[in-house]
Every structure is written in structure tokens, then in C-alpha cells.
Amino acid sequence: MSYVFLLILLFPVKLIRKLFRKDTGKNLVIQTAKIGDFINATPLLAYLQKSDVLISRSVNALAKHDDTIEQIFFIEQHKRNLWRKLCFACRIMNRYDNVYLLQPNSVNLFFAAVCNAKNKQFLSTYTRRWYHGIFYATADGSVEHGKRTLSVTNYLKLADRALTWEDSPKHATKPLFKPAIYPEILDKPGVIRIGISIAAGNKAKTIPPAIWKRIADRLADLPCEFYVFGAPNEQPWMDDITRLYGELTNFTNLIGKISLEELPWAISKMDCYIASDSGNVYVADAVGVPVILLFGPCCHDEQRPLGKLLLIGNDANISSYVFETRYYFSQDREELFAVTDESLREIKHFICALPKAQASHPDA
């Protein structure tokens, strides 16, 4: 509610400055969520060609290598206190012709509503509050987003209602950023390189060690090398696997060794990626790597990789959504991410159909 009062406070300023607004041709895209959500916004960025963005600082390593982005603003910097909010609101008030709001929480709604843009398009979600109506009243249009509608398509519809996810591809960086130096193990010959994320930012979406062991055992007769990607704080999850099963000889631990800036290039070296609904599966999808998604409680109708994909899970367990993420569930993680014998057969069949597997193990 405090942002409603801020908008009312600035409303006279907004009206007066609107009299002096000039066309700029500039776009502003507001998406302040984390890695996967930022990558799912890149089809819109690509379609618009050039835009300024209001994003989370956590995705700066990707955004700074994106030639569809002109200027980057960080939400953490501009919502820090009342003075910064007011200054930023005045800064962007007459700056844009088009504003596209993809993450409609209260602070983002305030910044979008304060703009005197000719065209403002807001995503409207199932978490919308009654008092958000004052912000939506300033928009020129909105796209209704439901729990079973694909987020990427609805992001694109903000720019053109006729667009779908097939009209504009994702990217992680544009063009793909290639680091000058990267671990040579990523080029290991004669193996099927499988990237995995053993943890997720939301612990409830972290796949239990026993599941990884079952998958590794099922693929044991294939020349698979598992590359474990993750931030330094994810090492304890790897320690759990080691404590239970010892050192797994075909697991290469890259936790803490690959920065977010280098991550898209490193993942592009993989033949396949396996993970739960975490940022890295969207990085893999954006660089054209086939994905096996253990979706657990997350709704794959709303958000999922869009390239070559195998979905593993039980739809009956779905209860977590993009704008209504849950952190606690009635089932334990072993049940949420359980892999049946049939699922393991599907995983192996998917791996065996990969070009690298066909070349290295034609009888698999």
C-alpha cells in the first residue's frame, strides 16, 4: 500500500511533466527476478531489439553481455530508501515511449505506473492485490497470466498479442560470451558430457542424493561424464552425495569454479543437462542443450525449457508456480522428485538418442 501513496504523492508532478514529454523511441523492460526468469524475458528483449532494463543485480553478469540491452538499472539500488525511489521515479518519468512490466510486484508496478510512456503494457497475474488496480489504471493494456499459461508467450504478448514463444528464441548472452580461459575438462573427449545442478536456490526444489545415484547407476553402461555446476554455497549438497556414496569417479565437481558470466559458454559444451526447475536449465535451454527436467512440485505448463526436453515427474505433485513459489510441501523431497523405473528408462532412451551417444555407443 505504501507505493500507492507514493504514486498519489507524485501524481501532480507526473501530470505537469507529461505536458513536456517528447518522444524518445526508448523501451523499458522490467523483470527483477532471478536467472531463469531473466532468460525467459530474453525473447521479448530480442523482439524489441534495443531496450533499457530494470533488473536484479544478480543477473548483471548475463545482462552486461546482451547487445539487446542499452542501459541497465538495478532494482536493489533504486528501492533502497524513499529518496532513491523518488529520484529514480522522476528520472524515468519521461524517458520512455514503451514500458513492459513482466514482474508486477508493488515496487515494479509503482515504477511502471509513474512513467508517462505512450504505451505501457503490464502482465497481470494470479497474485494481483486489490490495491494494484490503481497502478493498472495507468496502463494502456495488460496480459492476463494464469498458472497454466506459458510465461514466455505471455511476456511476448506484451509487445504483440499475436506472438508466441516460437516467434522469438531465448538467449543467455547475445552473442554468446566466450571466456578467454575455461577448465580444459569441459573438452574431455570420448564421453557424453552431462551437466547437472544438484541444488536450487529454493531448497525445496533440490533433488535428493538418492535420486542422482539412481540416475547415475542407470546410465553406468554409457560413457557419461557428469559435470556438477553450482555456486560455492552449494558445495554442502555435493558433500552429502560423497558422504553417502563415496567419490563417484565420473562426477567432475565444478561448484564454485565457473562464474555466472562464464556459465552459458561452459554449459554450451554439454551434450545434455539434468536438473530441477532452476536457473541452469534455462541457461542450457538458451544455448541449445537438450534438457531433462525433474520438475518436482513446479508447474511445467507455466514455465519450462522450450527446446529438446524430457519432463520427469508426477503432475499430481504440482503446487508451486512462478508468481506463487512455495518453500514447504507436505511430501518430502524424495517423494516429490521420485524417479520410477519407467522414468529411468525414458532418461536412458533420451541420452542414447543424443548425437554424441549415437557416435560413441551405437549399440546403446
Instruction: Place 361 in a pLDDT band, splitting at 50, 70 and 90.
Output: low
pLDDT score at 200 = 85
Query: pLDDT tens, 211-259?
Result: 999 999 999 999 999 999 999 999 999 999 999 999 888 999 999 999 9
Asked if residue 61 lies in contact with residue 69, where contact means CB atoms within 8 angstroms, the answer is: no
Rounded-to-integer distance, Cα 152 and Cα 87, Å: 32
* 112 C-beta neighbours (distance < 10 Å), count: 27
Q: The C-alpha cell of 109 is what?
A: 508496478
pLDDT over 80 at 359, yes or no: no
pLDDT score at 242 = 94
Rounded-to-integer distance, Cα 208 and Cα 333, Å: 6
**Phi, psi angles (nearest 5°) of residue 28:** -125, 125
pLDDT score at 203 = 79
pLDDT over 70 at 363, yes or no: no
Please write down the HEC assignment for all residues of the chain.
CHHHHHHHHHHHHHHHHHCCCCCCCCEEEECCCCHHHHHHHHHHHHHHCCEEEEECHHHHHHHCCECCEEEEEEHHHHCCCHHHHHHHHHHHCCCCCEEEECCCCHHHHHHHHHCCCCEEEEEECCCCCHHHHHHHCCCCEEEECCCCCCHHHHHHHCCCCCCCHHHCCCCCCECCCCCCCCCHHHHCCCCEEEEEECCCCCHHHCCCHHHHHHHHHHCCCCCEEEEEECCHHHHHHHHHHHHHHCCCCCEEECCCCCCCCCHHHHHHCCCEEEECCCHHHHHHHHCCCCEEEECCCECCCCCCCCCCEEEECCHHHCCEECCECCCCCCCCHHHHCCCCHHHHHHHHHHHHCCHHHHHHCCCC
Rounded-to-integer distance, Cα 66 and Cα 173, Å: 5
Rounded-to-integer distance, Cα 121 and Cα 13, Å: 22
Torsion of the alpha carbons at 145, 146, 148 and 151, rounded to the nearest 10: 20
Strands, sheet with 69-74, edge to edge from the N-terminal-most edge strand: 69-74, 51-55, 27-30, 98-101, 119-124, 141-144
Query: pLDDT tens, 191-224?
Result: 999 999 998 878 778 999 999 999 999 999 999 9
Please count the CA atoms within 13 angstroms of the CA of 122 that sit on its side-chain side.
Answer: 24
Prior bond of 175 cis (ω within 30°): yes
pLDDT score at 1 = 79
Sign of the four-CA dihedral 84, 104, 54, 257 = positive
Of 194, 211, 171, 234, the residue nearest 295 (C-alpha):
211
Of 165, 197, 214, 194, the residue nearest 275 (C-alpha):
197
Instruction: Place 362 in a pLDDT band, splitting at 50, 70 and 90.
Output: low
Q: The C-alpha cell of 162 is what?
A: 499475436
| pTM across the whole model | 0.95
Q: Work out the average pLDDT over 86-90.
A: 97
Residue type, 232: P
Q: How far is CA 155 from CA 30, 42, 67, 74, 103, in A?
A: 11, 9, 19, 20, 10
Q: Hey, what long-range contacts does 79-85 have (CB within 8 A, 24 or more apart)?
A: 79/107, 82/6, 85/6, 85/110
Instruction: Place 342 in a pLDDT band, splitting at 50, 70 and 90.
Output: very high
Rounded-to-integer distance, Cα 112 and Cα 99, Å: 7
Rounded-to-integer distance, Cα 325 and Cα 328, Å: 10
Least confident of 9-13, 39-43, 73-77, 326-330: 326-330
